[in-house]
Structure 1
Amino acid sequence: MFDALILWEWTAFAVRWVHVITAMAWIGASFYFIALDLMLKSADDMPEGASGEEWEVHGGGFYHTTKYLVAPARLPEHLTWHKWQSYSTWLSGAALLMIIYWVGGELYLIDAAKADLALWQGIAISALSLTIGWLLYDFLCKSKLGESPTTLMLLLFAILVVMSYGYNQVFTGRAAMLHLGAFTATIMTANVFFIIMPNQRIVVKDLQDGRTPDAKYGKIAKLRSTHNNYLTLPVIFLMLSNHYPLSFATQYSWIIASLIFLTGVTIRHYFNTMHKTGKGPHWTWAVTVLLMIVIAWLSTANMWESYEDAEARALTPYEETFAQADGFEDAHDIVMGRCSMCHSRDPFYSDSMLWAPKGVLLDTPADIARNARAIYIQAGVSHAMPPANVTMMSNEDRAAIVRWYKNAETF
């Protein structure tokens, strides 16, 4: 069987694959250059204008790196620019955001229990928040606060906390976490595109024209690069969070996200200090563990609608489309009999299962209608669910799910 939805799912998979690959390249390069910068040592025989050098061994060869605080006296013929790792990561991430949370917004973006939003309104909030976030951050960096890095970082943290809370008031828990990650990643890539790269181009142009470059451009770029360094680990957590409902399926998920930014600071502070001095401050690990314990405790607070509230809530137009389609009653009975023992507000498949896997709930008609597309893909056209077919879903059951979804005639 092959249809447009299958092609769409594979498109999403391909974009996600590209996003992970490019993110690995960007994060790896970022960590490497921060570590290299901190490990540079002064030497008597360094060329004029050099601020430090480092010898490294890797892959059977030796590497000798020299850093110029402003620029070398002569520009080399070949110059490697590190920019496309960042750009391609953001572009693929933006595409993935649109595929999953905009096109699939009725399921993954909008939470009818939190805010009565049309899909276009949710998309508008999504897009505008990312844009406004960068503009606000950039304004603060260019203000007098830019001369006080610590104060600026504290203010940035406050902005992230506010955004975390705000996203959780309108979006699903999963979307709120993801959007906070996208908000932060947009700042990081915009730093590269609008600040770091243009400043480097100014320095290169000065060298080409025989002028002495101004050191301020390197200083500005270094500030933004440092911000990116401390924001990287929290962004990775936020992007992975949609796989773990314990991180987003609680009324305190906005606090969890906020605390994750603090753990990013403590972890990076350890490694940055270790690269610079050869010895990291071990107290940072104690703080990190304490923060993670608090996060784990907060994650136990349930945020699902109660079963009674979910049953009483009116169906959205999207849910109505599937709930009124021919075959819904059969599909409902199949899902209730084969899936809801795990995908429930109170899972009873095993004593060790405290949360519905991936936060997917399937124990009310509205739940089943809202998740129609996922049910169709996971249990209809594929045998991904139930895992190992532990509840013995038959081929006839799967065919009934496919018929129901097709009868809804929606994509």
Structure 2
Amino acid sequence: MYDLAILWEWMAFAVRWTHVITAIAWIGSSFYFIALDLGLNRNIPGPADGEEWQVHGGGFYHIQKYLVAPAAMPEHLTWFKWESYWTWLSGAALLMIVYWAGANLYLIDPAKADLSVWQAVAISALSLAVGWVVYDALCKSPLGERPTVLMLLLFVILTAMSWGYHEVFTGRAAMLHLGAFTATIMTANVAHVIMPNQRIVVADLKAGRKPDPKYGKIAKLRSTHNNYLTLPVIFLMLSNHYPLAFATPYAWIIAPLVFLTGVSIRHYFNSMHARKGKPTWTWAVTVVLFLVIAWLSSVPFGGTVEEAEARGLTPVEQRFAGAEGFDAAYDIVTGRCSMCHARKPVWPGIRWAPKGVYLETEGDVAAHARQIYLQAAVSHAMPPANVTEIPQGDRDALASWFRAAEG
């Protein structure tokens, strides 16, 4: 049974690797085409809307852009879509593996909402779907003709979702879900708006009809949204590595501020690529926002040991706490790990428990049994460099306890 835990972890790693690779491909192509489009030389006579000469890897590239299409449609067109689709699909799979299958540990926070696993998973899935439906309806409304107002309204929605997620889920899950909420909108833009509109234009051209320019305009609006949302999504997807971001009562405010930093940074690069100057004031804004985020993250959080002990144990925690070898495992963990993994760490230089993992009470240790097994028993990842000098015998005892609980 314990081998299953190792295989599950490697499967999660494979899916995460796929997600990162496809995300790099999607973000890279997105950034490249935004920079290319903004930087085209539009003062060259000819049928093209603009062109650019570039050099890379020892070769020269001559790129031309047509607002609709060239006089003769090429037989082969390269469509940029699979990068987006596979990023979302692999991300959805990773969400299921980590947060749905591990809902009792990573998704549900009984202190916020005492949800069953199916309830938490339902909220997770439905919130992502509803987000796209609401956003798409707003874009198709008269607000679509007022992009600035629409973008401000989108920011309000993201702020509300940040608050809502943090009221229901763990801080780590709330940040991740806000990223998934935004990424779902971005991929749906590609799948349901940008690609279909481009297909309509291509079909019209092949049939000898004049394409309606509205399709390009609609696709451009959605593409612009994706451009400004990319950087915040990257932060949110990586936020689980930084307790200072998610393990604070003001995490729901930190997330919207991250969106603002993404907008300010992208505005600078978009302006630079469009040869409209370099608005360096955006970096000052970004620094101020970053300092506000850092200040909000310093507010103490995590409750007290007494509060944690008073809440009692969940059925899963009871199973691990009642397994043979738990008392020895508990003594090992609290003696070797809790100086860092505490609500108030005492290890020099550690202000917050790494990844927000607390290992002080019996419930804490039982709840994180799988992580203890993988990080400190199967591997020697924890503690780093074995700074607390855990002997191999203690690691074997941790492994024996976990295997006993798993049956």
**TM bucket, shorter chain:** over 0.9
Q: Find 1:327's aligned residue among 325, 328, 334.
A: 325
1:271-350 residue pairs with structure 2 within 5 A? 271-277=269-275, 279-350=277-348
CA deviation after TM superposition for structure 1 residue 394, in Å: 1.5
Contact kept, 8 Å, 1:31 with 1:229, in 2: the verdict is yes
CA deviation after TM superposition for structure 1 residue 45, in Å: 3.4
1:239-250 residue pairs with structure 2 within 5 A? 239-250=237-248
Q: Distance in 2 between matches of 1:381 and 1:59?
A: 44
Contact kept, 8 Å, 2:2 with 2:403, in 1: the verdict is no
1:371 aligns with 368
Deviations 1:10-64 (A, max 9, x none): 11111111111110110010001111111112244322xx211111111122211
Please say which of residues 163-172 and 277-286 is displaced more in the overlay. 277-286
1:399 aligns with 396
1:121 aligns with 119
Residue identity in the other structure for 2:401 = W
SS of 1:406's equivalent in the other structure is helix
1:95-134 residue pairs with structure 2 within 5 A? 95-134=93-132
Q: Distance in 2 between matches of 1:105 and 1:208?
A: 51
Contact kept, 8 Å, 1:203 with 1:213, in 2: the verdict is yes
What is the root-mean-square deviation of aligned Cα atoms in Å? 1.2
Q: Find 1:204's aligned residue among 194, 202, 205.
A: 202
Residue identity in the other structure for 1:46 = G
CA deviation after TM superposition for structure 1 residue 112, in Å: 1.3
Residue identity in the other structure for 1:55 = W
SS of 1:56's equivalent in the other structure is strand
1:251 aligns with 249
1:218 aligns with 216
Q: Which runs of 4+ in 1 moved over 4 A?
A: none
SS of 1:271's equivalent in the other structure is helix
Task: Please tell me whether residue 46 in structure 1 is matched to residue 46 in structure 2.
Answer: yes
1:387 aligns with 384
CA deviation after TM superposition for structure 1 residue 303, in Å: 2.4
Gaps of 5+ in 2: none
Contact kept, 8 Å, 1:113 with 1:305, in 2: the verdict is no
Contact kept, 8 Å, 2:44 with 2:50, in 1: the verdict is no
Give me the TM-score of the superposition, normalised by structure 1.
0.97
1:144 aligns with 142
1:30 aligns with 30
Number of residue pairs matched by the alignment: 407
1:142-221 residue pairs with structure 2 within 5 A? 142-221=140-219
SS of 2:62's equivalent in the other structure is strand
Please say which of residues 398-407 and 215-224 is displaced more in the overlay. 398-407
CA deviation after TM superposition for structure 1 residue 243, in Å: 0.4
CA deviation after TM superposition for structure 1 residue 128, in Å: 0.3
Deviations 1:234-265 (A, max 9, x none): 00000111001000010000100010000000
In 2 relative to 1, CA 211–333 (structure 1 residues): closer, same or farther, beyond 3 Å? same
Q: Distance in 1 between matches of 2:88 and 2:137?
A: 21
Q: Find 2:76's aligned residue among 62, 75, 78.
A: 78
Residue identity in the other structure for 1:368 = V
Q: Distance in 2 between matches of 1:44 and 1:371?
A: 63
Contact kept, 8 Å, 2:2 with 2:406, in 1: the verdict is no
Please say which of residues 15-24 and 399-408 is displaced more in the overlay. 399-408
In 2 relative to 1, CA 44–264 (structure 1 residues): closer, same or farther, beyond 3 Å? closer
Please say which of residues 141-150 and 54-63 is displaced more in the overlay. 54-63
SS of 1:400's equivalent in the other structure is helix
1:10 aligns with 10
Q: Distance in 2 between matches of 1:44 and 1:118?
A: 63
SS of 2:274's equivalent in the other structure is helix
In 2 relative to 1, CA 2–327 (structure 1 residues): closer, same or farther, beyond 3 Å? closer
Q: Distance in 1 between matches of 2:73 and 2:89?
A: 31
Deviations 1:325-381 (A, max 9, x none): 12111111110111111101111122x211111111101111111101100111111
2:87 aligns with 89
Gaps of 5+ in 1: none
Contact kept, 8 Å, 2:197 with 2:215, in 1: the verdict is yes
SS of 2:212's equivalent in the other structure is coil
